[in-house]
Amino acid sequence: MISALTARACRRLSFSRAPGRTLRHVGALSLSSPRHYSVDSHAGLRSILKVSEEVQDAIATNKPVVALESTIYTHGAIDDLGLEDIVRRNGGVPAVCGIFAGVPTVGLLPHEISRMVSEKAHKVSRRDIATLTGKGLLGVNEHGGTTISGTMVLAKLAGIRVFATGGLGGVHRGAEDSMDISADLTELGRTRVAVVASGCKGFLDIQRTLEYLETHGVVVSTFLRGRQPDKVTFPGFWSVESGLKTPSTIRNEEEAASIILAQEKLQIESGLLFANPVPETYSIPNAEMDAIIEQAVAESARRNASGNENTPFILKRIRELTYGKSVAANLALVQSNTESATKIAVSLAKMLEQSKYPCKMLIIIGTYQMSLLQADILVAGSVAIDVTCDYTGMDSDTAPQPHLHTSNPGRVSQLVGGVGRNVALAAYRVSSGSGVRFCSVVANDNAGTSVIASLASLGMDVSCIRKLDASINEDLRTAEYIAINGSDKNLFLAVADMNIFTSSAIPDDWEHIIGQSKPKWVVVDANWNASGIASITRAAKKSDASVAFEPVSQVKSERLFDGVSKLGVFPRQSIDLSTPNHYELGSMYKAAKQNGYLEGRTWSSCYDAINSPDLDANLRELASKRRLEIDVLRQAIKLLPYIPTLITKLGHDGAVLAQILPKGDSRLADPDESQYVFKAAGASESGGVYLRFYPPAESVKDAVSVNGVGDTFLGILIAGLAAGGRIDRLIDVAQKGAVMTLRSPESVSPHLGDLSRAVLEAASSK
């Protein structure tokens, strides 16, 4: 009888399998931790835990997976949650956990959840899982909606790292007498799963809950959500603020993902709580909620409600006393938490994927070979410690610039930045992190270590960040950039120590790096010296990659036309694209003229063909209509033979695109584009020039910082071009991204991912 029962149970409890696929293990995501269980080594687990086909496949292929509890369905007060749709919309796979017909299940299907609700599932914590499962082995098919602790157990067994819920259980008021402490807290103390919640239920003793979590070594961190770190308190569930100091803060979901990964690599087994405040629109003032909670708790005490009866009674009374506002807040916060958890899971999946392919050694000066995966975009440029000083003097309203030769009051912040890093990060964020490689150098110092850690925490590929050995040159330091801005956020003065990028200690193996990466686009910034720029450009062209040049500054922009480097002319150009501001364009033109680039038969032949009378007349009309300098426009046309696509940034006045169109370009015959097209004369290899003014995306009155705005613009353009887009259709999207960074305290807005769809649409439009 025992053998028959076992055989029957194993048949009924076995994993569901994808057609033609052999299930190897549940914990396929555990790249670095043996403690995310492998079913191959835990045969007993394989025979008792059911994982849906979709979730099983997602875990095995490192897709982002978000665990969801089932009590929110079986014992919740809201019917239409839409949580699984939220996970899918944000690029994840939902995994509702629970006990279905006596089987612990990860990835409950809709009809299974409906049946659990209709057949009145039990409420299941950690302690109850084995009880219902054991009964299931004997044919007693009871359902269980798992609480936070129960869901954490099942999620960990399946290899899921991130879990979204509404509010955590905690220490109840009066727990010193009742000992009423939620199992959620002890679970967080021993199970390494990241829980995204809006704090703990507001009627609990929040202060003691935080103390309990601290005792058990649980990471507790609250999202800033646009607030200053010193102004953030732990969420009050229905209220944005509880008034109690949060143990720590995090800026965004990428940072949360990096903490999860670090916790796992360090093999620290306790859980993590990321507190996400209820959306401001639905927040109920803390003072108002405190009075309501006090009344509900007092009524519960008078009724002698305890254990499983206590929480439902209190929640019911709060719903009644807030006239349903608490229900609306409940729905909003759990949906917000689910979205945030999915973004964490997406970022974490990217980091884990990259950690499969670490560089074979720490990149230090010397001869080495490394194996690199293909990347659509390779950015070779600077990374630096950015120090920003914003003037805040009493006269800042009338005199926005700081005073010379004296100390000025201001606000100082420090971040990791650098032109190349910013361009790469913008491309990475707007393209969802796919196919972007950043190559740069740092010194073997504390700042260099911090830079690499920062880039890795963002999920970026750091396999080509070289850490130069200071023993070769003790003066080598990780680059640093100090910007002093006026109160209007416009740059007043900057000092840059970028000597590491012009050092002779930098190895020259760009052909190997670019040849293995096989990028569609290479971006090189002018922080490298002239020979470095030329070396990177030659290697890119040898691999048939297009090249974008970021001028960086007036002085550094001249390095492209240094008088030594030989630059190709259209249609065999060395540089395909550049996005200077009008000051940098002037410097580039000046250097080109002084060093003999604007003479000679090859340049003259190309320039004479594109410089038609109609084009010059349009230049004058455009300059007059848009109040632009005619010389700026003419300088751009003269540089086009060397840089066939030039976008001159005009700050708050917009941008001008000047582009040589090859013969056969569809715009040459498109009547909708005829106002921008000026056809070439004679037997030129060019079909004509495309000249178009783009007004600014919007007039920004609430700028936070100008740092990184131009870099963001270029990064988005390159992401769109690498996806097959046309430059004239990408500029408006790039300007929108630049505005997002202008409003961000970071050098690249963390919200650029919101433009991913717009970039793809611009790239795919005909």
Q: Catalytic site residues?
A: 69, 201
Distance in angstroms (rounded) separating the CA atoms of residues 421 and 443: 16
Which tokens in the block code for residue 319?
Answer: 């719903």
For residue 140, give Cα distances in angstroms to 123, 132, 676: 16, 8, 76
Q: Report the DSSP beta bridge partners of residue 163.
A: 67, 195
Q: What DSSP string describes 12-46?
A: HHSPP--TT-----S-TT-SS-TTS--GGG-HHHH
| Cβ atoms within 10 Å, residue 204 | 26
Cβ atoms 105, 26 nearer than 8 A: no
Q: Report the DSSP beta bridge partners of residue 546.
A: 521
Distance in angstroms (rounded) separating the CA atoms of residues 656 and 196: 45
Distance in angstroms (rounded) separating the CA atoms of residues 17 and 391: 62
Q: What is the DSSP letter of 278?
A: P
Which residue in the block uniquely carries the two structure tokens 């612990």?
A: 104
Determine the 3-state secondary structure of 441 from DSSP: strand
Backbone phi and psi for residue 294, each to the nearest 5 degrees, phi listed first: -60, -45
Q: Which H or E run includes 47? A: none
Of 123, 185, 125, 133, nearest to 150 by C-alpha is: 125
Determine the 3-state secondary structure of 503 from DSSP: coil
Cβ atoms 184, 148 nearer than 8 A: yes
Which residue in the block uniquely carries the two structure tokens 């178009």?
A: 692
| Cβ atoms within 10 Å, residue 450 | 14
What is the bridge-based pairing of β-strands 410-417 and 480-485? unpaired
Distance in angstroms (rounded) separating the CA atoms of residues 708 and 741: 7
Which residue in the block uniquely carries the two structure tokens 């584009």?
A: 673
Of 502, 555, 527, nearest to 419 by C-alpha is: 527
For 222-260, what is the HEC assignment? EECCCCCHHHCECCECCECCCCCECCCEECCHHHHHHHH
Where would I find the beta strands (DSSP E) of 589-676? 645-649, 655-662
Alpha-carbon radius of gyration of the chain: 30
Cβ atoms 426, 460 nearer than 8 A: no
**End-to-end Cα spacing for the chain:** 69
Which tokens in the block code for residue 111?
Answer: 């009809």
Cβ atoms 221, 252 nearer than 8 A: no
Checking phi first, is residue 77 left (phi over 0); if not, alpha (psi -120 to 50) or beta?
alpha
Torsion over CA: 9, 15, 16, 21 (sign): negative
Angle at 511 between CA 506 and CA 517, to 5 degrees: 110
Cβ atoms 451, 478 nearer than 8 A: yes
Q: Which amino acid is at 49?
A: L
What is the bridge-based pairing of β-strands 162-164 and 461-468? unpaired
Distance in angstroms (rounded) separating the CA atoms of residues 7 and 3: 6
Which residue in the block uniquely carries the two structure tokens 């590929």?
A: 461
Non-local (6+) Cβ contacts of 320 within 8 A are: none
Distance in angstroms (rounded) separating the CA atoms of residues 607 and 595: 17
Of 82, 278, 270, nearest to 197 by C-alpha is: 278
